[in-house]
Amino acid sequence: MSKTRLVFFALVVVALIVVGVSYALRTTDRSPLAPRPDPLMVRVVVALPVEPFVRQAAEQFNAEKHTLEGHPITVDIVPIDGLVALGRYERGDMDPLPTVWIPDSRYLVELANNTFKEQRGRDIFLTGGEYRARPIATSLFCWGIWQSRDEVLRAKYGGEISWQDIHDAATAKGGWPELGGKAEWGYFKLVVPNPRKNVGGLLAMIAAAGEYYQKTRIDVADVTNPEFQAWLKELMGAVTDFSSLSSYSVENLALFGYSMGDGGQLLESDLLVNMAGIQTRWVEPMVIRYPQYITWFDFPYTIWMGDETTALEKNAALEFERYLLTPAIQQIAIRLGLRPANPQVPITGPDSPFVHWQDHGVTVVVQRSTRMHPPDRDVLLALLRWFDLNVYER
């Protein structure tokens, strides 16, 4: 073979090796010269009741290493009470600005959006289209009462528990013996979340006002009515000590038992996730009863649409939203006492607390049609002001 032909074949072999190595490096993405796509951070500020569900889903999402257009997506969870988050948004104290806000209820989003619309001339949180706010789970307020206390109250006042029954029990001068209970129970002790630490406390007062006035929409005139204020003060006076309460009233109930309270209107999901622990620790179980006027929490997944986040970041937030609504992840929500937002996911199942605790009053389908209308900003401020002046000692 001539020298020229050998050189030619050598060049062909070298070229093939170069092409093969280049292709291998491109397909394995191991080239030290290839630019690495920047990671996409989805920072989610989430309401306290739904934080365990969203955090567990985020940890699983991150472990699965999801990407968008080659960019790795990382979800970071920051738990903040919905009312506190609303204040931070409106004061401009959200730093760094979250990509997503999951408050307790859609009305908090509407309040924040109204403020931003006045400032910027456009919506920051959308109600329509692909980026609209959508629930990732739901829950509702219900009565959680020790079984022995529930039997006495139902015998005294009839089949259902109402805020008026609780008020009358709270103001009984003879305490539990006057109601038909045991002397060692003392006086009726109400459990309500601290309105300054948990938006649920405010919504409990809204629910009480709804039953007092027998209507689903409360206005400022209702809050400032002296007769209602006197009634509400007697009712809230049955709470043992607001100043010592944490944000998690049901956890306090599980820890301190009867000394913490006899019962109150609390979030169904919080009660369900603590039912087993309460029964184990205190032997006596709690029962769940549903009020006439229902207060729903819809936990809307709300994407920030301002220029502070890029289109890729917004779309990465959409990826996590879709993940939260998948049947497998919605099953996590159910196990944590939340009702699924995906209508294709049944609430029943072998691990469902809604089935497990049915003998203790839990209802899979809530038939009540009297849903409390969300309060506006003026009503919230009026209730908070009344609470600070009449009940809460800082």
Q: Taking residues 195-224, report their average pLDDT.
A: 92
pTM beyond 0.85, yes or no: yes
- The overall average pLDDT reported for the chain is 88
pLDDT tens, 149-194? 999 999 999 878 899 999 999 999 999 999 999 999 999 999 988 8
- Supply φ then ψ for residue 179, to 5 degrees: -90, -15
Q: Are 163 and 208 in contact (CB under 8 A)?
A: yes
Q: Are 199 and 83 in contact (CB under 8 A)?
A: yes
pLDDT on residue 95: 85
Q: Are 136 and 303 in contact (CB under 8 A)?
A: no
pLDDT tens, 42-57? 999 999 999 999 999 9
Partners of 297 in beta bridges: 139
pLDDT on residue 14: 46
pLDDT on residue 30: 43
Lowest-pLDDT choice from 115-124, 238-247, 283-292: 238-247
Partners of 235 in beta bridges: none
What is the 3-state composition of the chain as percent helix, strand, coil, each rounded to the nearest 5? 50, 15, 35
Partners of 239 in beta bridges: 190
d(CA 384, CA 61): 38
pLDDT on residue 320: 98
- C-alpha distances out from residue 239 to 35, 187, 232, Å: 60, 11, 12
Partners of 144 in beta bridges: 264, 288
Which residue from 197, 205, 265 is spatially nearest to 229, judged by alpha carbons?
205
d(CA 293, CA 298): 16
233 — pLDDT class (breaks 50, 70, 90): very high
Domains parsed from the chain with CATH numbers: 40-136+299-324 (3.40.190.10), 140-296+360-390 (3.40.190.10)
What tokens were used for 159? 């089949």
Lowest-pLDDT choice from 5-9, 222-226, 304-308, 364-368: 5-9
Q: Taking residues 13-17, report their average pLDDT.
A: 50
pLDDT on residue 197: 81
Q: Taking residues 296-320, report their average pLDDT.
A: 95
pLDDT tens, 239-278? 877 665 555 678 878 888 888 899 998 999 999 999 998 9
pLDDT on residue 131: 93
Give DSSP secondary structure letters for 214-274. Answer: TSS---HHHHT-HHHHHHHHHHHTTBS-GGG--S-HHHHHHHHGGGT-SEEEEEHHHHHHH
pLDDT on residue 25: 42
- Asked if the model's pLDDT at residue 13 lies above 60, the reply is no
Which residue from 272, 185, 190, 266 is spatially nearest to 232, judged by alpha carbons?
190
